[in-house]
Structures are given as structure tokens and as C-alpha cells.
Structure 1
């Protein structure tokens, strides 16, 4: 441990308040994971306690051909079981995916003073935020991750405020991913036997955000995590992994009491990872599973991932669709305003699928 961080507070100030992040910590020559990052034993990720997910990727180009129904069934089955699946032939050019990864490395390799201009309170836009961990002020153990988060309002705002190193690639990626997300959501809602208006779909997917995550090489990856256990709050997340891997998803079991197997989602060249969020679990009254997942730190090299989050607009009320409740006989979740759900989500440290309790009817 370098002597410049002789107290937990000076470490926190350096990483969070001064905006150096984990990248700055690693660049300072730290030789061991600081105590502030050491996770309790039950939260550490042991690769040997998981297995590789061997499900083949779903070929979305086949939605337009004779195998349409087969592909629809594959998507629905994945949404009802693991809540995670990989897709190929998804309409996002492979060169764009490579450019995105390069752009993420370029941004995070900037000197700290070029990144801190996007910290909360000084960022040129409240829609653009550079930070570290998840909610550091609430976390007992910090996550080994820095990120830049960019909420989409309009092309004009994105071009004006998003970082120059990545804005064009991030914007194109968000737009192409959003089209794919809409197709998947329409398939899933259709399979519930519900017809909803276009305007309702727009509201359910109206908030879009692209993040770039950076996981610096870690001296003791077995002691910490890149991201702790959580499910995403929105409808659907599209994730670009780089080739290094480290994403783990929990297999939910009936009457799961915190147990359940962890599967590693291997990086497949050219594939994107799709995962179901809490919003779809609530809308479907529990039929579709929001996936609990986490990310391992790595000792070999720094890595990046680029998720696109699609979620309801803040004023949208989300609850189980009435037709589904009628069929099921009872609602498992209450109706909530999405802004309230979001405030609860970002107001607490990661804790598995606990975020869903906010809407759950006991």
C-alpha cells in the first residue's frame, strides 16, 4: 500500500472526491487491494464455484425468415429462466463494437484532470457523469470499477456534452441497440398475450443511457469485485463485453434462499449480451426474470464493457399488466412511479435483487 493513503478517508478523497478513481489508485503504484475494497468472504467471486454458460447465441437475423417462431421461443425461454442470453447478427456493425472498446480505453486513459470535469456537480450536463464504484457513500466495500454514464436526451445534447473520445460511437451504438431492444420487448409482451400501444412501449423504453465501464488490472482480484450482485432496474440491458470476460449470472431456483448456481457468460466475438431488468419482471408479474449478476476483477489486464440501459421514463407508472394479473389471479407487485423505483435503486448499495422488494407485495 502506498504511503499517501494512510487513512481510509484520504483514500476515499483521492478516489471519489478528487475523481482519480480506481485507475488513479492503480497508476499510483498500489501493490495490494486497499482494505476499503476488500469484500466480505460471501461476496467474493470464486471462479471454481461457477461453470461456463454453454447456451449458444441467438441469431436475430432469423427473426425475418422461416425460423421466426423458433427464435421467438428461444428469446422467451431465456427471459423466463436465466434472464440472460447472447445475440449475434443483431444489426450493430462489428467495426462499431471494436471502435467502442477502443474509445472506452482512450477515455479512461486520459489524465485525471480531463476526466474529473464530468464528475457530479461540475459536469457540463447533469446527464453525463464520471464516477467510481456504484454508490460509494453507501458502500461498506467499494467496487473495483470506474465509469462514464451518458443519458440520452437528443442528438444535439449528446454531441454537445458527451466526451469527444466516445460520443459518436456511443450514440450510434445506443440507437442501433434501441431498435433491437424494441423488437425483443414487443416479442416478450406479445407472448404474454397482451397488446399495448406504441406510445406505451415508447414510455416503457423512453429513458436510454450508455455507460462505459473500466476495470483496471487488480493486484488481488480474489478479494474484491468489479461489480457486486445486483439486477438492473430497467426493461432490457444490451452489453458489449470485451474478450477478457468476468460476467457471472445467478441461476434462480424455486424457493431460492440466497443459494443458486453462478454461470459465467463467456465473451463470444461479435455477440452482444441481453439481460432482462426489474421493469420486465414487474410488468410480466414475475414470468420474466430480471437477472442477478456480478463482475469479477481481473489481475491480467484492464478491461472494459459498454452497456446500454433502456428503462421507463421517470413519470411512467409500472406494475403488472392487468391482463396478466387477470390470468394469474393475483398481482405479485404493486404499481409504482418509476422515478420512485429509481431513487430507491440508486439510494442503496448493490444487494442482489433486493431492489425488487420496493415493488413487491408481501
Structure 2
């Protein structure tokens, strides 16, 4: 039964607690965005005021040839400035990416009760969680997004516990992307004069999570956000955008007149978006910048995005690499147990890059 949209408790119960999600709201015949989803004016996304992104995707096949140095420089430059870049010839089959999008639509197209079995608190596995918004219990304005999150431990667990509608294709996406992530991480640290062996790289990307995000059609997209302003907490995020797009990144280190402005990242067929997370900024002693980003909604068609988050295990001790502290003459961040950073990150609403305050000295 659809909720009373004028009753906040009724709407919260229907969308969040019963697992109908935003899609359930839209399917009930929603004509206008409920008040709980209307963002303050300063958080809304003005598409007409965004800068276009005019950088060509980086061709990763060049890392294995004569242009290695040139490609490595382009990757490092992007990580030092924008905190993100797009890549092609990344080793993830294009047919797999298409199957991934289709499987995401397949999962979210199910009846609500099929998805609700994975709700927090009732999910049959701690590796799978279905939900909506970010931390809906704490947010003043909710995000226009449903999601399913799948934690990777090993192949056997993934095939046993992840949802049948997407487990095989999501696992293949994760495995092929991990090879690319290792290569990029190695390039980034070599650029800083630090050589990481494979066990050390494996340790800093040991925790891997695949999310499937679903942004239903929104009747008033100018009033909402799909995801609010935030940076990711890990090392690198690999993101598949569908053909609709909607990702915006905040400019920090560009021309002064653009600083603090937003740039729209176009959807490029066959490309993946890579963005720097907080942990890479900390390990690099501030040389690489995590990207503050957000996502808009659309009134024309529902869309999906599928990120892979890579980060250390919660028990890992994190801080600037000693080699970089010695070179820089100071540590810009303190050491901490990564699990404490995770708890801090998910214990608050999205607030841009304030998550990094936790690591400040």
C-alpha cells in the first residue's frame, strides 16, 4: 500500500524500513518529489552552471608499451589535480560492462519483497545489503537512490551469497577490474618514488566492495540529488556509468576562477571512471587528492551506476608512507586503524570532504 506522502513516518516506513525504496515510490504513481527529498538550495545541482570535462580518456594499453612514461604521467597528473580520470583499453571486456548494466536493471526491477530480503538487519548474509539513500536515519534531505552493496571475501562466498540476478557478472567485473587497479596503484606510487611490491599493494586494496546504484526517474530532478557531496573513503574507486551520465566532480586544483566549481563528467562508451579516495590521499601524504563528487537525477529515464570500492582491511594501520614523510619533512596526517575511519565515515551524513578531518593531525 502506497504511503501517505504528507506523513514523514509513513513514507520512511514504506521506503526505508519495508524496502520499497525510491523505485517503489515512483511505481506507486508519484507526481511530485516528497518534501523529505527536497534538498536545500545550496545542495542542488545546477546543470547549466557546470563546466564541461574536455579531457580525453587515458588509454591504459600504453602502460605496456613505449608510451608507458607518458601514460603514467597523465595518470599521476590527474590524481594530483582532479582526483579522477577516465580510462579505456582497461582490460574489462565491453560485453561484460553491458551485461553488468542489464543485471543491475534486472535486480532493481524485481518485486520489492525480493529485494527487501537483503535489508540491513534481516539480510541472510553480512556480505550483502540492500538499502536507499546513505544514512537515511540521520539525513535532513534524503538521496534519490536505491542500492545493493556486495562485499568480496572470496569467489566461493560471492557465488553463494551475492544475489543470483547479478552475482556472476559482478564477480567477473570485480576480478578484471582488480588487475587494472593494481597496475594504476603501482604507477601512482612509482611516480612518488616509492616501489610497492605485490603483497603491499594487495594489503592496501584488500577490502573490495561492488555496489549497484539505481536512480529512478525523478519528477523534479532540480530539487533532488542522487548522491550528495562526498569523497570515497578508500584507495581507488572504479565506476561504470551508463549512457545517461550524471556525475559531477568539484574542481580544487585547477585555474583559480574555476576553483570550487563543479564539472560534469560525460559518459564515454566503453570507458570506466577512476577516482582517488581519502585513503590514497593520506598514504600519499596529500600528493594525490580524493575527488569530491555528487550525482544528479533525471526526469527522462532511470539510470544505474556500478562502482567498485577498494580499500585496506578494517584492521590495517593507515598513515602517510614513511618514505614520503621523510621526503616531505612532515606528516600531513596521523596514523589510525582503518576500521575507525570506516566507522566515522558511515556514522555521519555526506558533507563533502569533511571525512578527512578524522585523519588530520
Secondary structure of the equivalent of 1:55? coil
1:253: Cα distance to partner? 4.2
- Residue 244 (structure 1) aligned with residue 244 (structure 2): yes
Match of 2:52 in 1: 52
Distance 2:328 2:158 in 1: 43
Match of 1:4 in 2: 4
Written as runs of structure 1 = structure 2, the 5 A alignment for 1:195-344 is: 195-253=195-253, 260-344=260-344
Secondary structure of the equivalent of 1:137? coil
Q: TM-score, normalised by structure 2?
A: 0.97
Match of 1:131 in 2: 131
Distance 1:231 1:48 in 2: 23
Displacement over 3 Å in runs of 4+: none
Secondary structure of the equivalent of 2:243? coil
Distance 2:16 2:296 in 1: 21
Match of 1:93 in 2: 93
Match of 2:105 in 1: 105
Q: 1:253 to 1:79 in 2, by over 3 A?
A: closer
Distance 1:253 1:64 in 2: 29
Distance 2:130 2:117 in 1: 8
Distance 1:293 1:74 in 2: 21
Count of matched residue pairs: 359
Distance 1:120 1:147 in 2: 12
Written as runs of structure 1 = structure 2, the 5 A alignment for 1:140-159 is: 140-159=140-159
Written as runs of structure 1 = structure 2, the 5 A alignment for 1:70-81 is: 70-81=70-81
RMSD: 1.5
Q: TM-score, normalised by structure 1?
A: 0.97
1:117: Cα distance to partner? 0.4
Match of 2:179 in 1: 179
Q: 1:92 to 1:7 in 2, by over 3 A?
A: same
Distance 2:337 2:7 in 1: 41
1:192: Cα distance to partner? 1.2
Gaps of 5+ in 2: none
Match of 1:27 in 2: 27
Secondary structure of the equivalent of 2:274? strand
* Alignment check: 8 A CA contact 2:81 2:253 kept: no
Secondary structure of the equivalent of 1:56? coil
Secondary structure of the equivalent of 2:137? helix
Gaps of 5+ in 1: none
